[in-house]
Amino acid sequence: MKKINAKKFLLFIISMLVVCLVKSIFIDSIPEQEYCDFVHDVLIYWGDNYLNNIVWLLPIILSVYVISGRFYLKLREFETRYWNRKRYVKAMLKNIFISSMFFNFMIALAQIIVFTIYFNKQINIDLNILSILFRYVLENTFLNLLIIFCSMYINNYMFIVVLALIIIILSLTMTINLNVFAPNMYIPFVNIYYSESINIITILLIPLILYFIGIKYEKCDIIGGGEL
């Protein structure tokens, strides 16, 4: 078990180094910013250059692949006719939430550490930075859960992932680049790019989505990875 965990951790480190390396190619004015703005733009960025924008979405795509993909498969494979189904579902929902929060936190922390060292920035942790970090983890966790939820009901994981990315890109384009949507309009996950406050709606939606994932899973009848 330790060897497996060590391999996964090493793979995570390599993945984040590759992501940071690709990001470093596109960074220009970020190193000259104040540390709070520096951390924000390292984690959250959307501009006029769509190649830059796609690069900044790479950590989010990694999170979706690791968390949403992993737990979607787990939910499909468990034998729900076992007597401890409800207990298992509760444990699974707790595991999904904690794993998503932790993994997204590690993704954010890894990027901050790498770029802080790379640009020789002086670390200055304050409430604003903690707020940015929390919002990043919260919104990415929401996205992971939403993809799992939709995939269970539509029963097509890759379709939901692609659809989610398309909706995110279109929403950001219409809000930030084209100003079609008002910047104070709440759009799940997308609002992290133009809002500086922790969104209460997202906090309320997360347990609601977990609840409906549990309801759906308790009602399904799977034998050896059958249809949801």
Supply the pLDDT for residue 28. Answer: 66
Spatial CB neighbours of 123, under 8 Å, sequence gap ≥ 6: 35, 116
Supply the pLDDT for residue 223. Answer: 44
Pair 73, 152: CB distance under 8 Å: no
Supply the pLDDT for residue 29. Answer: 61
Per-position pLDDT tens, the chain of length 228? 444 577 888 888 899 999 999 988 887 666 678 899 999 999 999 988 888 899 999 999 999 999 999 899 888 776 555 557 778 788 889 999 999 999 999 999 999 999 999 888 888 889 999 999 999 999 999 999 999 999 988 888 999 999 999 999 999 999 888 888 777 788 889 989 988 888 899 999 999 999 999 888 877 654 444 444
Supply the pLDDT for residue 225. Answer: 43
208 alpha carbon, distance to own chain's centre:
17
Pair 197, 73: CB distance under 8 Å: no
Supply the pLDDT for residue 86. Answer: 75
178 alpha carbon, distance to own chain's centre:
25
Spatial CB neighbours of 138, under 8 Å, sequence gap ≥ 6: 198, 199, 202, 203, 206
Half-sphere exposure of 141 (CA within 13 A, CB side): 29
Pair 221, 80: CB distance under 8 Å: yes
d(CA 175, CA 184): 10
d(CA 9, CA 5): 6
d(CA 62, CA 69): 10
50 alpha carbon, distance to own chain's centre:
20
